Amino acid sequence: MTAYLLERAWVDGAVHDGVLVAVEAGRFTEVRLAEGPAVPDVVRVPGLTVPGLANAHSHAFHRALRGRTQRGSGTFWTWRDQMYAVAERLDPDGYRELARAAYREMVAAGITTVGEFHYLHHQPDGTPYDEPNEMGLALVEAAREAGLRITLLDTCYLSAGFGRPPEGVQRRYSDGTADAWAERAALLGPAAGVVHGAAIHSVRAVPRDQLGTVVAAATGRPLHVHLSEQVAENDGCRAAYGVTPTRLLADAGALGPLTSAVHATHLTTDDVDLLGDSRTSACFCPTTERDLADGIGPSRRLHERGSPLTVGSDSHAVVDLFEEMRAVELDERLATQERGHWTAAELLAAATYDGHASLGFPDAGRIALGHRADLVTLDTASPRTAGTGADEHTVVFAASAADVTQVMVDGRVVVRQGDREQIGRELDAAIGRLWT
């Protein structure tokens, strides 16, 4: 057992001075204010400490695009062509190296669990590897080496668009049928710190008659789906099926408390009702949605209707969940010309407990007895945080990933202040090899 005295910590929805936590076998065995008997050999942790953050939506290989796709103009669809160029280059060893470096960047930013939306399954010509899940296993190993947990959201991707077979690099995404996808995904065995979830890439990539198979295979597990990220997706779905993507998923039984709708940008009132009534989580990725000019989704309306909010870094244009949190509020301000839609406590809950729950880790994201011992400590005297009050408002509206000084995952300190330079070198090497 190791005891830690946290100078300040966010516990039970509020920031408290002097919080004593004891950790044993990766879990909190004691959480209390430091009033009372002194604890010998306590480790003092200066700064403001919060629970571990959950990155609910990630495409690890997109990290190689940062600084490249921002040049010039275009749309989501022109960006996608650049993304496909990276997808064509990756093999299992390169994927593992790139993902490990990307995940190390995430841990240094306070992320203790990542939801990896994984569809890069096969060889470039679509032929399976000898180990059918070699690319997915590369991601699991990368997360283990980086020191964070992973929910591998093995993704069904069967078509290039409504009624169109896979084209080009998309061949390595496809298993041919949902049954074949389910058979391959079922071969993934249990591993510590790993949740095996499922994903429907989008309604354009999984035909309506295949959706039920994916839903059935995902029973009891997290199920994620890109939803209404683009107006063109909505138009195509209406043309093909006569309904919105949300209605199509609802009719297939895909919505529910274990489901996360990623982006959920261009929704009708009926769509919001369907998502809220089913308690489907809404995963917003504001830095990516801004970078790709996707639009601003109705985060507050979804929340008030019943959809828990989570956040993700998606394409990793930025890896900073503090920025994602505050961007949810700031984007609402831009869309409505009014302030004060989300409280700091609500946004922090989205990035911690609710995010972890959406990834199949309901025992993470809180500094609480019996929960996983994840701690993220922030410098409260940096140029960004100094003079802000060192409370939840500092965390959400002032701090950045650069203010993280220490990260504990399952009771083990995996990042300390000063590790960033090495992480930068690892990223530079992995991305450099990919582009040469």
In the DSSP assignment, the letter for residue 401 is: G
Active-site positions? Answer: 263, 314
- Cα torsion 32, 35, 37, 40: sign: positive
Residue 44 has a CB neighbour count (10 Å cut-off) of 8
With tokens 């997109």, the residue in question is 62
Q: Are 314 and 58 contacting, i.e. CB atoms less than 8 angstroms apart? A: yes
Cα torsion 349, 353, 357, 359: sign: positive
In single-letter form, the type of residue at position 338 comes to E
Q: Which long-range contacts (CB under 8 A, 24 or more apart) does 429-436 make?
A: 429/97, 429/101, 430/64, 430/94, 430/97, 430/98, 430/100, 430/101, 431/63, 431/64, 431/98, 431/101, 433/94, 433/97, 434/64, 434/86, 434/89, 434/90, 434/94, 434/98, 435/64
**Residue 116: CA count within 13 A, CB half-sphere:** 35
How would you classify the pairing of strands 404-409 and 412-416?
A: antiparallel
Tell me the C-alpha distance between 10 and 49, whole Å.
Answer: 6
Cβ neighbours around 190 below 10 Å, total: 7
CA distance 100 to 193: 15
Does residue 176 contact residue 158 with C-beta atoms inside 8 Å?
A: yes
Query: CA nearest 112: which of 360, 375, 349?
Result: 375
Dihedral sign from CA coordinates of 376, 146, 112, 435: positive
DSSP string, 249-271: HHHTT--STTEEEEE--S--HHH
